[in-house]
């Protein structure tokens, strides 16, 4: 620390209104440490202040030592209170009992606070110290309304990783103890103490020599050992409530005994430790094994931010296999910090998403987009219940697939099913996902197989396959099978465009209708239509003589869209899918290549009319087409009228999607008994329409009105045949009657019946 920095620091501290004294900086020769004693006015109730002390011994003027290192201001000064400050007042950093106590004044890294606030950082640190002392005087460092403040373990280097919810689930009214298998890491650095990490498993270890024989210690490299060891979880009898706060000061076995005794955990813990010590010595093993210990201490009320009043107090003891723990209680005990193991709950908390009902959802397609969506959701603690994809990983997938290829696991870069790779990644995120390597298209006609793949109460199925065949297959699934709503996500045009369609309630509108709607939106937007209707698929060379039908774009660009889509799905998971309509989202990448703009459209359910001369074909009429038809009916109330239907059809789904309805050409004739659709300009108009949508939308038939409730007439059937003969595609003759729509299919087979 430069003399300038300390001068400035002291000047700043002096300006603080609660600092009533600042001592001379004290630097021992050759030491990088500079100590500054300060005196702080601690505001407390006036009567206590008159006495000069609070009932719990906090003085109205407290001294504190600020210890600056030569790294200041990169690192915040350490703050120590007077040696006899009452340590039972909570919020102390762990430290040996003979050292000056260090208050935990800031919920975070004080050095970051200093950096974050610049020149104000140091005074803010003093603000925190003053507030801490004032709360200590009032004995309000622990606020029962907020919860029990766990013993601070912030700066401990050793950690235990454990799923506390799971451990707590074992706790009964009586005291108890569990021996578990655990993994461990030992980090070695020359000249420094080893650092240990213990991963508490969930598998109980038997209390017999076979547990000891499972211990392993393997050197990974110069700095790292890895192995298998044992861990102990102990809890006290329900009557043993530890209601007073004790900062972490344990350093050896004797002190641990005293501490565990005060928590009511001593008997259970030392019974296991004594057994372990004796058994390991008899085992003939060499080396030393870190044993993780968690005391589940019963507190008088729930811990802050937790629904449990059981506080985990973790320690690590390294036990020498040849000597055991010895008889003098001097074996070193290392207090450890706790980290939650990776779990759904931890990921939910970290993602900032509260709890919501997590019905299963299904990811179809585990390619570059699908894998990213599945893993984004999994990282937020909401992994799909199953992933379906029949494709396998190839080396070129490494360019964009979310799962990292691992050198030691070539299956993840070559040959392994994509669905397996995603499920394996999700397993690492503490969640279970089934993977299926079957093609979804192969099972859509079999209700039994669908039930095998798709959980019955599934919230939705996300299709990211970019496969038109899969879309068609999903659209073709019978409504009676109670198939979940489909969310389709796809990228188009070299990743310049993204589409998400979300089916409406009861799958109305379905994906086929929503995609038709999306095509129409793009057809109407010049810029979008230019992007959408150009062929950008290329067949990149992925090996000698091999190519793949895909788009060329970077992993990052896919991530741009995948991130948006994942956020959208997450939002829908929390809010629920609309009970009124389906949705289309169009995302367009700006020319700058980095800005992404999404526009959303709500799409009303289509009116579905079964063709009367077919057992399977249905006509799906969009709200817009319906409105256009009704507007024409308004104009021609006393005569039959009609026009031309535009949209697209799905052979697999046996569906004709009507998106638009054109009025009749001027040479049409209307009377009370018939309507004659003219031809003037029709051909050119239809060609122009189809061209504007790059033939993704086209003429799908005709419509006309009947003035009275009636079935399609003989004339209609005859016209249907005429159309069927002259058109290659199935068409519909839609009849609008006062009682609703009726439909005929104009298609070779249907018209021959």
Partner 1 sequence: MTPQLMFFPVHHPARDGDPGHNGDMTLLELESGRRVLIDVHIDTAADDDSDAPNVAQMLRDRLKRDSQGRKYVDAFLLSHPDEDHCKGLDNHFHLGPPDTWSKEADKILIREIWSSPMVFRRASTKHVLCPDAKAFKREAKRRVKRFRESGNLVSGGDRIQILGEDESGKTDDLTAILVKVDEEFSQVDGSLDPSLKTRLLGPLPKASDESEEEALAKNRSSTILRFTLTSTGREDACLFLTGGDAEVAVWERLWQRHYWRAGWLRYDIILTPHHCSWRSLSYDSWSEKGEDAEVCSDARSALSQTRSGAEVLASSKPITDDDSDPPCVRAQREYEAIATEAGGLFRRIGDSKKPLRYEILWEGPRRVSERATAAGVTGGGAIGGQPLIHG
Residues that bind partner 1 (CB under 8 A): 12, 15-18, 41, 43-51, 117-120, 123-124, 126-127, 130-131, 134, 138
Helix (H) or strand (E) holding 516: helix 511-524
Nearest distance, CB of residue 154 and partner 1, angstroms: 23
Strands 288-298, 224-235: parallel, antiparallel or unpaired by DSSP? parallel
d(CA 151, CA 154): 9
- Nearest residue (CB) to partner 1, 126 versus 487: 126
DSSP lists the bridge partners of residue 610 as 618
Nearest distance, CB of residue 50 and partner 1, angstroms: 3
Q: Which long-range contacts (CB under 8 A, 24 or more apart) does 439-444 make?
A: 439/390, 440/364, 440/388, 440/465, 440/470, 440/473, 440/474, 441/467, 441/469, 441/470, 441/473, 442/390, 444/473, 444/474, 444/476, 444/477
- Nearest residue (CB) to partner 1, 123 versus 345: 123
With CA atoms as reference, report the closest residue to 469 among 502, 436, 444, 486. 444
With CA atoms as reference, report the closest residue to 450 among 461, 383, 375. 461
- Nearest residue (CB) to partner 1, 18 versus 696: 18
- Nearest residue (CB) to partner 1, 130 versus 645: 130
Nearest distance, CB of residue 133 and partner 1, angstroms: 10
- Say if CB 39 and CB 82 are below 8 A apart: no
Nearest distance, CB of residue 49 and partner 1, angstroms: 5
- Nearest residue (CB) to partner 1, 134 versus 248: 134
Backbone angles phi, psi at 192, to 5 degrees: -130, 160
- Nearest residue (CB) to partner 1, 36 versus 319: 36
- Nearest residue (CB) to partner 1, 127 versus 157: 127
Q: Which residue has the tokens 């440490």?
A: 33
d(CA 276, CA 319): 9
- Nearest residue (CB) to partner 1, 53 versus 529: 53
Nearest distance, CB of residue 401 and partner 1, angstroms: 47
Nearest distance, CB of residue 361 and partner 1, angstroms: 45
Helix (H) or strand (E) holding 741: strand 740-746
Nearest distance, CB of residue 138 and partner 1, angstroms: 7
With CA atoms as reference, report the closest residue to 503 among 463, 450, 465. 463
- Say if CB 36 and CB 65 are below 8 A apart: yes
With CA atoms as reference, report the closest residue to 228 among 287, 163, 304, 153. 287
* DSSP notation for 137-158: HTT-SS-TTT-B-PPP-TT-S-
Nearest distance, CB of residue 147 and partner 1, angstroms: 19
Strands 460-463, 362-364: parallel, antiparallel or unpaired by DSSP? parallel
- Nearest residue (CB) to partner 1, 51 versus 323: 51
Nearest distance, CB of residue 735 and partner 1, angstroms: 59
């Amino acid at each position: 620390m430069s003399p300038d920095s300390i001068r400035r620091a002291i000047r700043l501290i002096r300006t603080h209104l609660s600092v009533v004294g600042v001592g001379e900086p004290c630097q021992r020769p050759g030491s990088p440490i500079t100590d500054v004693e300060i005196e702080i006015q601690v505001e407390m109730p006036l009567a206590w202040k008159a006495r000069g002390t609070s009932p719990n011994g906090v003085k109205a003027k407290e001294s504190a030592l600020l210890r600056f290192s030569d790294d200041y201001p990169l690192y915040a000064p350490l703050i120590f209170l007077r040696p006899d400050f009452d340590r039972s007042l909570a919020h102390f950093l762990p430290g040996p009992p003979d050292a000056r106590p260090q208050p935990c004044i800031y919920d975070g890294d004080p050095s970051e606070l200093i950096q974050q606030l610049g020149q104000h950082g140091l005074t803010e640190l003093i603000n925190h110290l003053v507030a801490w002392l004032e709360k200590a005087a009032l004995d309000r460092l622990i606020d029962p309304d907020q919860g029990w403040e766990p013993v601070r373990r912030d700066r401990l280097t050793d950690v235990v990783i454990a799923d506390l919810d799971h451990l707590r689930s074992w706790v009964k009214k009586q005291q108890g103890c569990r021996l578990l298998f655990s993994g461990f890491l030992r980090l070695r650095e020359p000249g420094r103490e080893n650092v240990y990490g213990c991963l508490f498993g969930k598998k109980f270890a038997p209390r017999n020599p076979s547990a000891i024989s499972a211990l392993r210690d393997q050197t990974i490299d110069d700095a790292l050992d890895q192995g298998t060891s044992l861990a102990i979880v102990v809890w006290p009898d329900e009557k043993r409530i530890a209601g007073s706060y004790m900062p972490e000061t344990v350093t050896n076995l004797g002190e641990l005994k005293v501490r565990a005794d005060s928590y009511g955990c001593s008997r259970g813990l030392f019974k296991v430790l004594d057994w372990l010590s004796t058994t390991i010595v008899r085992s003939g093993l060499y080396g030393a094994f870190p044993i993780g210990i968690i005391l589940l201490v019963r507190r008088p009320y729930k811990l802050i931010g937790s629904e449990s009043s059981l506080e985990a107090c973790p320690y690590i003891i390294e036990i020498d296999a040849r000597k055991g723990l010895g008889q003098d209680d001097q074996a070193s005990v290392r207090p450890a910090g706790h980290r939650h193991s990776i779990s759904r709950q931890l990921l939910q908390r970290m993602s900032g998403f509260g709890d919501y009902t997590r019905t299963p959802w299904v990811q179809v397609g585990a390619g570059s987009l699908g894998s990213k969506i599945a893993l984004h959701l999994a990282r937020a603690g909401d992994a799909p219940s199953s992933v379906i994809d029949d494709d396998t990983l190839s080396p070129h997938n490494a360019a964009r697939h979310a799962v990292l290829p691992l050198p030691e696991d070539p299956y993840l870069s070559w040959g392994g099913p994509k669905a397996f790779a995603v499920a394996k990644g999700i397993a690492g995120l503490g969640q279970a996902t089934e993977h299926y390597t079957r093609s979804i298209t192969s099972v859509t006609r079999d209700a039994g197989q669908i039930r095998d793949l798709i959980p019955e109460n599934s919230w939705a199925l996300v299709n990211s396959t970019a496969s038109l065949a899969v879309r068609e297959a999903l659209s073709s699934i019978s409504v009676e099978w109670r198939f979940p709503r489909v969310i389709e996500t796809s990228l188009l045009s070299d990743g310049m465009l993204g589409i998400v369609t979300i089916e409406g309630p009861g799958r109305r509108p379905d994906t086929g209708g929503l995609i038709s709607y999306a095509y129409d939106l793009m057809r109407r937007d010049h810029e979008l239509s230019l992007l959408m209707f150009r062929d950008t698929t290329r067949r990149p060379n992925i090996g000698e003589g091999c190519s793949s039908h895909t788009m060329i774009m970077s992993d990052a660009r896919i991530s741009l869209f995948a991130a948006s889509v994942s956020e959208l799905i997450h939002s829908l998971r929390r809010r629920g899918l609309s009970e009124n309509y389906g949705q289309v989202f169009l995302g367009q990448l700006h020319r700058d290549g980095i800005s992404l703009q999404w526009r959303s459209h709500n799409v009303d359910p289509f009116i579905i009319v079964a063709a009367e001369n077919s057992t399977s074909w249905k006509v799906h009429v969009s709200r817009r087409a319906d409105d256009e038809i009704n507007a024409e009916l308004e104009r021609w109330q006393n005569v039959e009228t009609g026009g031309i239907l535009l949209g697209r059809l799905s052979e697999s789904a046996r569906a004709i999607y009507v998106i638009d309805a054109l009025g009749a050409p001027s040479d049409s004739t209307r009377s009370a008994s018939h309507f004659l659709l003219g031809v003037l300009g029709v051909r050119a108009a239809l060609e122009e329409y189809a061209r504007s949508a790059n033939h993704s939308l086209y003429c799908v038939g005709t419509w006309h009105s009947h003035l009275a409730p009636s079935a399609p007439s003989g004339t209609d059937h005859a016209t249907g045949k005429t159309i069927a003969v002259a058109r290659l595609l199935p068409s519909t003759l839609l009849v609008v009657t006062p009682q609703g729509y009726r439909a005929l299919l104009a298609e070779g087979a249907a018209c021959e019946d």
